[in-house]
Amino acid sequence: MNDTRDYAVSSTLFFLLGAAVGAAVVALTTPKSGPELRADIRDLGVRVKDRARKLGQDLTASAEEMADGVLRG
């Protein structure tokens, strides 16, 4: 069961990393002016940071729920 959970977590992290790299490639290959491109990259960084924070909070909540279940069971 632990292997399945590790696989799910690593798959999720690789997916998010791939999505971030893909978004960065699209942002860098789109014909825009310097200020527009910098603003887009800054916005992308903020969105990635927010999503990572949300994922961390979700993972923490899930881990706490699992720990409570183990301690009670």
Nearest CA-CA partner of 27 in 6, 43, 5, 11: 43
3, 12, 22, 51, 67 from 45: Cα distances, Å:
31, 18, 13, 10, 32
Local confidence band at 73 (pLDDT 50, 70, 90 cut-offs): low
Higher-confidence residue of 52 and 27: namely 52
How far apart are alpha carbons 18 and 4 in whole angstroms? 21
Residues 20-45 pLDDT 10s: 888 888 877 878 888 988 898 899 88
User: Which pTM was predicted?
Assistant: 0.52
